[in-house]
Structure 1
Amino acid sequence: MLKRDQIITLLGALLLLAPAVHAQQVLRKPVVKQAVVAVLADAEVAASAAFGEYCQMLETKEGLGVYAVGAAWKNPEQVRELVRSIRKDYPGLEGLVLIGRIPVPMIRNGQHMTTAFKMDELKYHRNQSSVASDRFYDDLALQFRYIGQDSAQPDWFYYELLESGPQVIRSELYTGRIMSHATGQQRVEEISAFLRKAVAAREQAQPLDQFMAFTGGAYNSESLTSWYQEQLVLQEIMPALFKTNMGYRPLHFSMDPKMKYRLFSELQRPGLDLALLTEHGDIELQYINNSPAGNDATFALQLLRYQARTALRRAVAKGQSPEAAKEALLKKMELPAAWFDGALDNDSLRKADSLVNAETNIVTADLATVSPVARMVIFNACYNGSFHHPENISAAYLFGKGQTLVTHGNTTNVLQDKWTIEHLGLLYRGARAGQWSRLNNTLESSLNGDPTWRFQAAGSGTLNKLLAGPGTVADWEKQLLQNDPVMQSLALRKLFELKGKAISPVLRKYYEETEYRHTRMEALKLLARIGDTQYVAVAGAALFDPYELIRRKSAEWIAKAGHHRFAPLLINALLAHPEDARLSWTAGRALDLLDWDNTLQVLDSLQSTVSWRYDGPQWISQLKEQVQDAQLSARQTLAVILDPNAKEEARIQRIRLLRNMTYHALVPELLPLLADAQAPEAVRINLAEALGWFVLSYQKPAITAACQQVIKQPGTTELLKQEATQTITRLNHWSLP
């Protein structure tokens, strides 16, 4: 007998497919079958000469078999079923090129597969709280429930991740979007110009021999330790770039108060191949510099007035009335009311203020006068990869006057502490952009442009063949023996995919013995995903690794695990590396989540060991106060959650805090509420969902058992069963950003 979600899914699929089955036109089938790419376009683009030229180039220059289809695509399910069919007929299918108006899947109920996105799906409209994601097309194991089509954006289709299916991304294909938001014939011409650019780029070999990396203001706590140590790892994975004066160029926002214009020059510098742009971002915006700085009182006063006006305009733009917004800001900022004068009704002042922003940020319109030469641009930023929005900044790089062929970004916000350069050395060795992107896929990540692009390198063909298939254990054990951090890290990842937990001793060995930072980071990340005794054995030592990112991520994952034995090591890491701004934040937050009484005892015992610090007693006192505040906050949160007289909305709001603040010690007191059949269903459902974020917690077995009991409990509603089922799967199969 079919379950409710299966019936809904089946009916939805039938309704979606019914009007579209006759709309597809197969334009080309693969001659080469070992490595196949499906090129899917809307009918207008598929009819263009440039489309045929691009397909021909993929065959003759890239050695790929091409399955080309043009259609008036009606919905994502139609595309997905075609991809399944192609893959069945051509097992060598490795990727998809989605050109033009290919329907956009908007995914819900899958925020645990993002790195940071946690918007309330009930509180906010679905066009804001859903994630535009091509994982719908490149991870065919994921299962979805159709919700509906957007009324204002007809290319957007909403789906919920099925609770009973996989809860982690394992993309077997790569995808790349070539999507223009122009209208009419201009749209076809814009895409055609891009396709011809992609064809022309293959006329001469282009190795990756010039790379520029930029870090913007307010990112990663502006940690200079984080910034400079990344250069050391880049030198490990792309050593040849560091042997010439032009090979690698690291840029930091602090180098120029108007770094925006310096970046424009660098992006146009002849010979640039790859640009990595780490900054805060938005759909149409790259934040480059912080607000202007000055040394005198007059400047400081002007800046405060400017910030007050900006805050008022931002609040009104979000829907607040001018009066309410001004009153709230006056209370919050404690500034004179006169400082808000002219913010909303003085056009000259508004223009002057906008010029301040224009000097510090890059917007989409700016790129009309810039011609980036980098073939690939990586946006390590929020929202910069939002291909589904008109005026998205990624499209400005692809369809502008420059030479950019592929960009990588995100369609929502993204974690600052993400390991951005994971497997990046593969690009230097000639891996296709799509293959590199596939290894790093999250729900929000997006590859836009030509995913088949690769830089020329010796052995590129062999590497891409390796990447296209799962390979064998013997294949990857052979690669693991190379004295190369790029191939070692890739081999560890592939062996993890093939062997699962059985690879744990090998991961520990490589973490403890290799000299390469990149390999150690990969080993630690995979060990943390396993979360066994081998991981626990190295997690503490990782807090003192020479590589700052390993120290930082180890603190983050210890916070997720919750073992109180790590409290002394976290405190010692804070003592050892006060220069690590981001580690200080992460390790401090970890102490907030461990057993508070134990941590306070540890701090008392360390009083004598910090005498070398001139402020030792004060430092210990401040940490104790922080931990006590965290304990009080946690207890207050628990009290509201458990209070049957509290408003349901307030209880749910506190439950949602557990998604970020995994208070491990509270779990035994929360589980009876989950089991309480008399408690409001919405409270129990939200609690079941929140407990799904305890993926590394030592409380995971207890949470799993409690969810299993809820599922078996007589009278449990279908919605609660689905949430409990999803949490069990999430806790047993998870990934880490």
Structure 2
Amino acid sequence: MALIIKHGAYYEQHKKDNIMNIKKKSALVLSAATVMLGLYTGAAAQQIEKPLKKNTATTFAIVVDQETYNKAKQEINAYKSALEKQGLGTYIVSHQWTKPEEIKVVLQKLYSDKNRLEGAVLIGDIPIPMVMDAQRLTSAYKFDQARFGFRAAVPSDRFYDDFNLKLNFIKQDSLKAGNFYYSLAPESAPEIHPDIYTARIKAPAIKGKDKYELIRTYLSKVVAEKEQQNRLNHLMVYSGMGYASESQTAWASEQVALREQLPQLFRAGSSAKFVNSRMQGDLKQRLLTEVQREDLDLAIFHQHGESDVQVISGYPNVSFPQPSIENVRRYLRNKIQAANRKKQDVAETKKRFQATLGVPMAWMDDALTDSVVLADSLFEANGNIMMEDVDKIRSNVRMLILDNCYNGSFHKDDYMSGHYVFGSGKTIVAMANSINVLQDVWTTELIGLLQHGVRAGNWFKEQAYLETHLIGDPTFAFTAEGNTDYNELIVNKDGSDPVWKQLLKTGDADLQALALTKIFYAQGAASSSLLKDVYYSAADASTRMQAWKLLSTLNNADFKAVLKDALTDPYEYLRRRSANMAGDFGTDDLVPALVASGIEDWASKRVAYNSGNSMSFMNADLVIAQLQEYLKKPEFAGNTDIQRLIKRQEGTREKVLKEGKVMEDKKAVAKERAFDVNMLRTYTYHELVPQAIAIAADAAEDHKLRLAAVEALGWFPYSYQKDKIVALCDQLIADKNSTAQLREEAMRTKTYLLHFSAEKYQTVAKK
């Protein structure tokens, strides 16, 4: 899977160009949108109330629907006053919104003003953009759009905050009138880089609660919290069942990195608590107790989830015979109960498990006994945090990061993160995802900025994928450790300002990482040697990771050198990402280092997992030869893990050969060929690229299959076959016989592939 980078060089120039374009068009656009600053022009007009505090360094917008504003006007005005007291000039933009464009126009206009808009909050019933044709801008989403249509759309407020994204309107949902569907334009920037930050204050469907009452109560607690002086000095991190392969090395390595990023948490009077699913006891109850702590500032949940649940734990981690037997019996009962619910043959199900697992029939006899079914149901419930569990407590953790799937599904009437934020406790803001999310996302990127008073929104801008959202007040900030206003620097100082080179000299891991990011935005490819030097010289893991990440966008010789060495970096997360990235390249020169990673880094379960996957995408003969060389070494003689890898690689070689023949065979079953083409979106077998190119280029092939092939080839941004893919795209774009759909998909693929190249990021100074 290719790494998705959320920022690009040229960004500073793009930002300046964007502002100029907005200014040139603003009079026409605003006239069309009937926006009048500070007064009404009729019942249908938008109203923008200007800040009372003038000449602030940056500004902020409260965007609210008219009904919510009417019913929570006092609380919204109090929120505005609290923000201005903190030095943030605040607009209130109210209207009975009929489409997302009405809001975006206003935000762009305010962003182009002298006192630049830094962010906005969307309160109440605000139109929801649903984005199609943009799955490469998510962290992991690969829902088959051709098969499922609009069900595959991604709910995303990047429509409102990333002005470089070009999204073409498709339609308004006929059943859910608040949902509006858009397609990523073929020529759009193939990256996420918000110009401003946004967040949603949208009440979930809490039983017995009116949504306007929830919003009023929430805003009142936000205003109250802004009166407090609260440094970031208490943290809790949970790593759940199945997360990062339950790697203990990953769990420990994150603690080391967080100590470098947030050193004050490890001093007397502070606390940092790290919990994982392998610990014994009632984890659900203990975690619910943790988030109720009055002093807890930040909680991070790494786990699986759905829109209404956080998955906490599974079967107990045991080794003694009796509890192990009970785990097996519980597993069997679960399967039998499921078969019964589906009206399948229970007796046959039991016989199958008896035969395949060698278990006695007696272990399954009580599977459908009422008392046992109830006990199993309670056990299952105790392994998950449900929305109703959150409603029964007072969640006091001020900021919550839900690093799991779907907990931020604000497009639904009810969603998990909303229950924390709108509950009776002191929780102010949560970061969560509207769809599924990659396990290997760098959730703690630049997290150290929070200790310096950086607002949640300004931190979030470097976190945002298409699916990532803040729920709650994005202006929330912890009391700063020093006197420097980093919010003002982030918004108003571009990468050419001397302040960023000065910050590179600090001993602060994430201030250095932020400085690298800003310099990269300004210099592009010219920053390559700096990034490489910082990778090799930085003592802190997160600083090295930031250099690696920025270099990966350039995709040049400097990055290739760093990538190879990063496979043995002390930071587990960096090794993990490098192991994954090596497979995206697929080149022979990376095979020795990748094989070494898969064998020698055996204690790092997630790294070994990623290395094993990446080996599947490399030259199979070379990988097998390298593995066999290890078996010749005395210390590895007879190593069963290596033997298993060889068998796996042999199987992959056969699979790739077989699938390649199916793709080449026009007489093969259409579904099989389509399956193999779509498979390349997730399993980037570089050796199958020529077959996919042949399908895409052949006018005699089924049109849908050609489209699928072109789209699948867009998931190879680092491949040694990339030039061939780009040449195909040029051919399809130039071909007068290509359908408009085919040309557009070819343009999307080409734009994305070329985004990951040093040529794309030649220094802005040449302009």
Does 2:716 align with 1:694? yes
Cα RMSD, aligned residues only: 2.8
1:640 deviates by: 2.0
Per the alignment, do residues 113 and 327 of structure 1 end up closer, same or farther by CA in structure 2, a change over 3 Å counting? farther
Does 2:649 align with 1:632? no
Does 2:53 align with 1:42? no
Secondary structure at the aligned position of 1:417 is classed as coil
1:528 deviates by: 1.5
1:306 deviates by: 3.9
**Corresponding letter in the other structure for 2:558:** Q
Does 2:412 align with 1:389? yes
Distance 2:337 2:520 in 1: 50
Secondary structure at the aligned position of 2:295 is classed as coil
1:218 deviates by: 1.4
Distance 1:707 1:607 in 2: 44
Per the alignment, do residues 31 and 556 of structure 1 end up closer, same or farther by CA in structure 2, a change over 3 Å counting? same
Secondary structure at the aligned position of 1:256 is classed as coil
In the alignment, is the contact (CA less than 8 A) between 2:495 and 2:521 conserved in 1? no
1:267-287 CA-partner distances (Å, limit 9, x unpaired): 122311111111111111111
1:177 deviates by: 0.6
Distance 1:329 1:674 in 2: 48
- 1:660 alignment partner, one of 677, 682, 686: 682
Residues 263-282 of structure 1: matches in 2 within 5 Å?
263-282=287-306
In the alignment, is the contact (CA less than 8 A) between 1:46 and 1:69 conserved in 2? no
Distance 1:527 1:512 in 2: 13
In the alignment, is the contact (CA less than 8 A) between 2:240 and 2:302 conserved in 1? yes
Match of 1:55 in 2: 80
Does 2:522 align with 1:498? yes
- 2:451 alignment partner, one of 428, 443, 461: 428
Match of 1:725 in 2: 747
Distance 1:227 1:552 in 2: 13
Match of 1:463 in 2: 486
Which region of structure 1 is more displaced relative to structure 2, 569-578 or 165-174? 569-578
Secondary structure at the aligned position of 1:323 is classed as coil
1:470 deviates by: 5.2
1:82 deviates by: 2.3
Distance 2:523 2:339 in 1: 52
1:123 deviates by: 2.3
Secondary structure at the aligned position of 1:500 is classed as helix
Distance 2:721 2:600 in 1: 30
Distance 2:102 2:371 in 1: 52
Secondary structure at the aligned position of 2:145 is classed as coil
**Corresponding letter in the other structure for 1:663:** Y
Percent of pairs with identical residues = 34
Match of 2:630 in 1: 606
Secondary structure at the aligned position of 1:391 is classed as coil
Does 2:348 align with 1:323? no
1:316 deviates by: 9.2
Secondary structure at the aligned position of 1:471 is classed as coil
Distance 2:320 2:582 in 1: 44
Distance 1:567 1:270 in 2: 51
**Corresponding letter in the other structure for 2:411:** H
Match of 2:594 in 1: 570
Does 2:494 align with 1:479? no
Distance 1:142 1:460 in 2: 35
Match of 1:164 in 2: 187
TM (norm. structure 1) is 0.91
In the alignment, is the contact (CA less than 8 A) between 1:45 and 1:192 conserved in 2? no
Match of 1:250 in 2: 274
**Corresponding letter in the other structure for 2:540:** Y
Which region of structure 1 is more displaced relative to structure 2, 218-227 or 664-673? 664-673
- 1:31 alignment partner, one of 53, 66, 70: 53
Which region of structure 1 is more displaced relative to structure 2, 717-726 or 465-474? 465-474
1:454 deviates by: 0.4
Q: Which has the higher contact order (CA 8 A, sep 6+)?
A: 2
Distance 1:282 1:448 in 2: 16
1:83 deviates by: 1.7
1:628 deviates by: 1.1
Distance 2:539 2:616 in 1: 33
Distance 2:431 2:300 in 1: 9
**Corresponding letter in the other structure for 1:322:** K
- 2:730 alignment partner, one of 705, 708, 725: 708
Match of 1:648 in 2: 670
Q: Which runs of 5+ in 2 are unaligned?
A: 1-28, 36-41, 758-767
**Corresponding letter in the other structure for 2:283:** M
Distance 1:329 1:364 in 2: 35
Secondary structure at the aligned position of 1:105 is classed as strand
Secondary structure at the aligned position of 1:379 is classed as strand
Residues 561-600 of structure 1: matches in 2 within 5 Å?
561-600=585-624
- 1:238 alignment partner, one of 257, 262, 266: 262
Match of 2:250 in 1: 226
Match of 1:676 in 2: 698
In the alignment, is the contact (CA less than 8 A) between 1:36 and 1:90 conserved in 2? no
Per the alignment, do residues 247 and 570 of structure 1 end up closer, same or farther by CA in structure 2, a change over 3 Å counting? same
**Corresponding letter in the other structure for 1:701:** D
Per the alignment, do residues 342 and 603 of structure 1 end up closer, same or farther by CA in structure 2, a change over 3 Å counting? closer
Distance 2:557 2:43 in 1: 52
Match of 1:412 in 2: 435
1:395 deviates by: 0.8
Per the alignment, do residues 340 and 396 of structure 1 end up closer, same or farther by CA in structure 2, a change over 3 Å counting? farther
Distance 1:182 1:167 in 2: 35
In the alignment, is the contact (CA less than 8 A) between 1:215 and 1:279 conserved in 2? yes
Distance 2:602 2:381 in 1: 35
1:266-314 CA-partner distances (Å, limit 9, x unpaired): 1122311111111111111111112235566665555445434545666
In the alignment, is the contact (CA less than 8 A) between 1:258 and 1:289 conserved in 2? no
Distance 2:201 2:162 in 1: 19
Which region of structure 1 is more displaced relative to structure 2, 74-83 or 180-189? 180-189
In the alignment, is the contact (CA less than 8 A) between 2:119 and 2:197 conserved in 1? yes
Distance 2:492 2:466 in 1: 22
1:565-584 CA-partner distances (Å, limit 9, x unpaired): 11111122233221010011
In the alignment, is the contact (CA less than 8 A) between 1:430 and 1:460 conserved in 2? no
Match of 1:8 in 2: none
Distance 2:529 2:423 in 1: 50
Distance 1:421 1:469 in 2: 24
Per the alignment, do residues 671 and 548 of structure 1 end up closer, same or farther by CA in structure 2, a change over 3 Å counting? same
Match of 1:441 in 2: 464
Which region of structure 1 is more displaced relative to structure 2, 486-495 or 154-163? 154-163
1:633-680 CA-partner distances (Å, limit 9, x unpaired): 222222222221123332121111111211122323432222111111
Secondary structure at the aligned position of 2:651 is classed as helix
Secondary structure at the aligned position of 1:439 is classed as coil
Match of 2:202 in 1: 179
- 2:157 alignment partner, one of 134, 142, 165: 134
Residues 7-406 of structure 1: matches in 2 within 5 Å?
22-29=44-51, 31-33=53-55, 34-47=57-70, 48=72, 49-60=74-85, 62-89=86-113, 92-124=116-148, 126-127=150-151, 129-182=152-205, 186-244=210-268, 246-292=270-316, 303-308=327-332, 310-311=334-335, 322-323=343-344, 334=356, 349-406=372-429
Per the alignment, do residues 226 and 18 of structure 1 end up closer, same or farther by CA in structure 2, a change over 3 Å counting? same
1:161 deviates by: 1.2
1:352 deviates by: 2.8
1:233 deviates by: 0.7
1:263 deviates by: 0.9
Match of 1:6 in 2: none
TM (norm. structure 2) is 0.88
In the alignment, is the contact (CA less than 8 A) between 1:42 and 1:99 conserved in 2? yes
Per the alignment, do residues 79 and 346 of structure 1 end up closer, same or farther by CA in structure 2, a change over 3 Å counting? farther
1:39 deviates by: 0.4
1:346 deviates by: 7.1
Per the alignment, do residues 652 and 622 of structure 1 end up closer, same or farther by CA in structure 2, a change over 3 Å counting? same
1:358 deviates by: 1.6
Per the alignment, do residues 492 and 672 of structure 1 end up closer, same or farther by CA in structure 2, a change over 3 Å counting? same
Per the alignment, do residues 399 and 421 of structure 1 end up closer, same or farther by CA in structure 2, a change over 3 Å counting? same
